[in-house]
Structure 1
Amino acid sequence: MHRENVNPNPATPPGPDEAPQRIVKVRRDYNSWVASETLEDYALRYTPQRFRKWSEWRVANTAFGAASFLILEAVGATLLVQYGFANAFWAILVTGLIIFLAGLPISVYAARYGVDMDLLTRGAGFGYIGSTLTSLIYASFTFIFFALEAAVMAYALELALGVPPVWGYLICALVVIPLVTHGVSAISRLQLWSQPIWLLMLVVPFCFVVVRDPGAFAGITHYSGEKGGSAGFDLRLFGAALTVGIALITQMGEQADYLRFMPERTAATRGRWWAG
């Protein structure tokens, strides 16, 4: 293995009692690797101001990507089928309002001070145990949704390309590794070019259905669902649907992970900062 001598002061030769420091190449490569902020990307806790280098729009666009996971469509469809249009509609609306009101102060403080949910929990007075429980809930939620997303994508690969589900699960598990190792730097770039495609693909299925069957959505507002006796509002079914929707509130932990990269708010950027 190649070795080289490193003298901190090349102009001064080592003294008689001073042995030259020998740096192994593997160690030098490792040190340069761990020193790369692109790889580490401040994945946890506090993001220093010098690294919050993206624009407000870039950070907001990256955070908005959390709404693109396919389970949201599955959850919404399940609420519609199970509880009917009226109950699902109001449950989704109330869910969004509750999550927005609960997430607003969390988002503001994460963006203002560059801290994640763990530090926010400690700062709110819940201490080390509280932050540990928060991290446990957030991690469990992430693993569950990652498994659900992988199942959806594996099924899509099977339908589109004939890939067996076992290989589909493996592909979905491996393809995210380069993204997570390069943190928000890679994720922001991915979101930047994929966001327009995702927004377009949200509309395409509805357009396709309308073109093939113009009357397909005529009776959807009167659909009572599998558990509903009538098409009207039912408080019991509304509560059941709301319970399912509120489970998504844990997703605000991911929002804090992104918003802590928001640049510092100034008088010149105040409007853009709040909009983001």
Structure 2
Amino acid sequence: MTVPDSGRRPPQTEASADGAVNETLEDYTLRFAPRSYRRWTPMVVATTALGGIAYMADFSIGAGIGLAHGTANALTAILVAAVVIFVTGFPIAYYAARYNIDLDLITRGSGFGYYGSVLTSVIFASFTFIFFALEGSIMAQGLKLGLGLPLWLGYVVSTCMVIPLVIYGMKALSKLQVWTTPLWLLLMVGPLLYLVSTDPGTVHTFLSYTGSHGGSGIDAASVLLGAGVCLSLIAQIGEQVDYLRFMPPKTEQNRRTWWTAVVLAGPGWVVLGALKQAIGVFLAVYILAKAGPASATEPIHQFTGAFAAMMPTWLVIPLAVVLVVISQIKINVTNAYSGSLAWTNSFTRVTKHYPGRLVFVLANLTCALLLMEGDMFSFLNNILGFYANCAIAWIVTVATDIMVNKYLLKLSPQAPEFRRGMLYAVNPVGVVSFVAASGLSIALYFHALGDALQPYSPVAAALIAFVLTPVLAVLTKGRFYLRRTTDGIDAPLLDAQGNPSSATYACHVCRQEFERPDLAACPSHDGVVCSLCLSTDRTGAHVLPAAPA
């Protein structure tokens, strides 16, 4: 699908790379996505977003939990995590699609403040390179098995091959995801259906497996430990949002397809994710007797074992390698893309300098490559279990602010705000809730409060964030959300249907046209200034003063 270039340019004085002056290349890194760029249909956006969850890590995660705790505990843990992820992901997905902003911009106005959300941007960026490294490791295993490449070289290949694809953002990614999804689904689901239909005994073996820890029935500690690992994926909603912000305006004509796309591609990603984790448990139990526990957690061996049961030997490894490579490319272009957005957001706000997103594509990939060369795959569950505490605290805080503080208590402004000058630097509602929830849950995870409480660290992260967020909003009376209530422009921010206004104005700094939600009045000139120029204003001359007390 061809989308016309908006022709907009950020200030030349603030961009140090030629690519930074092309807004199509940058994909609206620091601002909301304007209506003039959002020409895709809701279902094209949804398909593109869902293509980004083709990662193989779910199979490894499910396998690891299943082998350790047994099938019953693993499936229960997967279900518990999926419910939490769906509930917290829904309001975030809605805000991204409705107001066309990414998760960092949502976080700013949902309890964290303009600079407070830098902390969560760094956490999200780390999520992207951790999972890039995980997927790259899986691909390297496939390349070693199929082509004989040493692992270190496979890591380099899996890193470098995504660079050409990720540079051009949404245009290239939408085409890639749409065209590769049918083949990916066929290769993933086909072996499972074949094994179940031709050998029903595999189902009984799967359901009766008790894990390396032994014991029968469902154990609460095992379920929570497994759910904690699964909940490390809760930040995946950030990557879904990076696509959902390109949804077209919601109208009476597209209302049904708009909501369907938002639910499917937003919180709905976890349904497919949970199914893949369950398949990972199934394949691990199936492979366990054939290849041992080490290979049972590696997707390349899981699928070679499954393919071997249904097709000629000469075709097994090539097809398994194709599946792994397609999956790795589909998810890692998203990891590299979303990570570059997060790093760029953080860097620009802190330094007031905009180097261009390509710089951070390369930086994110370097971090991922170092993790791969350090063999992070061998201690996967430990990494994810620790990371889950931070991710849960962040996502639950933002989701609670939207659901409770905005709509129930009405202490948080319902329309999201992200522009510099409109927000306080730090809002204690989100920052304190996040720090308290993640800090205490990490202490629990590292046995600081005893071995018995260690499995409950993800529960602690969610509960503390859920309780503290509205409590702090009440205690502060919501006064730290908005530094001022008007941006100095008389025209309404939203149109008659509640969508961001498409009215355009010229930024007096960079002399380019921008849509209404991306602008604020300039206190030192008779004009308006765009959000990127506000972000890179080192003197503060263009930033509106705080409202009088």
Q: Shorter-normalised TM-score: what interval?
A: 0.7 to 0.9
Looking at structure 2, the residues matched to 155 and 53 of structure 1 have their Cα atoms a distance apart, in angstroms, of: 39
Alpha-carbon shift at residue 99 of structure 1 (Å):
0.5
Counterparts of 1:112-191 in structure 2, within 5 Å, are: 112-191=98-177
- Closer, same or farther: CA 202–31 of 1 in aligned 2, 3 Å: closer
Looking at structure 2, the residues matched to 167 and 80 of structure 1 have their Cα atoms a distance apart, in angstroms, of: 31
Match of 1:15 in 2: none
Cα-to-partner distance string for 1:140-163 (whole Å, 9 max, x where unaligned): 111111111110001101111112
Q: Is the 8 A contact 1:83 1:228 kept in 2?
A: yes
Alpha-carbon shift at residue 116 of structure 1 (Å):
0.8
Question: Secondary structure of 1:51's match?
Answer: coil
2:259 partner amino acid: W
Match of 1:99 in 2: 85
Alpha-carbon shift at residue 91 of structure 1 (Å):
1.0
Q: Is the 8 A contact 2:39 2:248 kept in 1?
A: yes
Looking at structure 2, the residues matched to 114 and 211 of structure 1 have their Cα atoms a distance apart, in angstroms, of: 45
RMSD over equivalenced CA pairs, Å: 1.9
Aligned partner of 2:251 among 266, 271, 275: 266
Looking at structure 2, the residues matched to 228 and 182 of structure 1 have their Cα atoms a distance apart, in angstroms, of: 50
Match of 1:7 in 2: none
Q: Is the 8 A contact 1:41 1:185 kept in 2?
A: no
Match of 1:18 in 2: none
Alpha-carbon shift at residue 180 of structure 1 (Å):
1.4
Are 1:75 and 2:61 an aligned pair?
yes
Match of 1:223 in 2: 209
Alpha-carbon shift at residue 125 of structure 1 (Å):
2.6
Counterparts of 1:40-51 in structure 2, within 5 Å, are: 40-51=26-37
Looking at structure 1, the residues matched to 175 and 29 of structure 2 have their Cα atoms a distance apart, in angstroms, of: 17
Counterparts of 1:52-63 in structure 2, within 5 Å, are: 52-63=38-49
Match of 1:196 in 2: 182
- Closer, same or farther: CA 31–148 of 1 in aligned 2, 3 Å: closer
Alpha-carbon shift at residue 130 of structure 1 (Å):
2.6
Alpha-carbon shift at residue 198 of structure 1 (Å):
1.1
Looking at structure 2, the residues matched to 91 and 45 of structure 1 have their Cα atoms a distance apart, in angstroms, of: 37
Q: Is the 8 A contact 2:96 2:106 kept in 1?
A: yes
Looking at structure 2, the residues matched to 88 and 44 of structure 1 have their Cα atoms a distance apart, in angstroms, of: 40
Q: Is the 8 A contact 2:40 2:247 kept in 1?
A: yes
Question: Secondary structure of 2:116's match?
Answer: helix
1:153 partner amino acid: M
Across the two proteins, how many residue pairs are aligned to each other? 246
- Closer, same or farther: CA 49–69 of 1 in aligned 2, 3 Å: same
1:199 partner amino acid: L
1:100 partner amino acid: F
Structure 1 length as normaliser, TM-score? 0.84
Match of 1:243 in 2: 228
Q: Which ranges of structure 2 fall in alignment gaps of 5 or more residues? A: 1-15, 262-549
Q: Which ranges of structure 1 fall in alignment gaps of 5 or more residues? A: 1-29
Structure with the bigger percentage of helix: 1
Looking at structure 2, the residues matched to 229 and 189 of structure 1 have their Cα atoms a distance apart, in angstroms, of: 48
Match of 1:253 in 2: 238
Looking at structure 1, the residues matched to 260 and 242 of structure 2 have their Cα atoms a distance apart, in angstroms, of: 18
Counterparts of 1:205-224 in structure 2, within 5 Å, are: 205-210=191-196, 213-224=199-210
Looking at structure 2, the residues matched to 89 and 96 of structure 1 have their Cα atoms a distance apart, in angstroms, of: 10
Match of 2:361 in 1: none
The structure with the largest alpha-carbon Rg is 1
1:65 partner amino acid: G
If asked which structure has higher relative contact order (CA below 8 Å, sep 6+), I would say 1
Looking at structure 1, the residues matched to 236 and 61 of structure 2 have their Cα atoms a distance apart, in angstroms, of: 14
Q: Is the 8 A contact 1:43 1:183 kept in 2?
A: no
Q: Is the 8 A contact 1:228 1:237 kept in 2?
A: no
Match of 1:19 in 2: none
Cα-to-partner distance string for 1:126-183 (whole Å, 9 max, x where unaligned): 1133310110110011111111111000110111111221221111111111121011
Match of 1:233 in 2: 218
Alpha-carbon shift at residue 46 of structure 1 (Å):
1.6
Cα-to-partner distance string for 1:37-63 (whole Å, 9 max, x where unaligned): 442222444211111111100111111
Looking at structure 2, the residues matched to 37 and 126 of structure 1 have their Cα atoms a distance apart, in angstroms, of: 27
1:82 partner amino acid: A
Looking at structure 2, the residues matched to 189 and 201 of structure 1 have their Cα atoms a distance apart, in angstroms, of: 20
- Is the deviation greater in 95-104 or in 198-207? 198-207
1:108 partner amino acid: Y
1:246 partner amino acid: L
Looking at structure 2, the residues matched to 126 and 35 of structure 1 have their Cα atoms a distance apart, in angstroms, of: 29
Looking at structure 1, the residues matched to 188 and 86 of structure 2 have their Cα atoms a distance apart, in angstroms, of: 22
Alpha-carbon shift at residue 185 of structure 1 (Å):
1.0
Alpha-carbon shift at residue 122 of structure 1 (Å):
1.1
- Closer, same or farther: CA 129–49 of 1 in aligned 2, 3 Å: same
Structure 2 length as normaliser, TM-score? 0.43
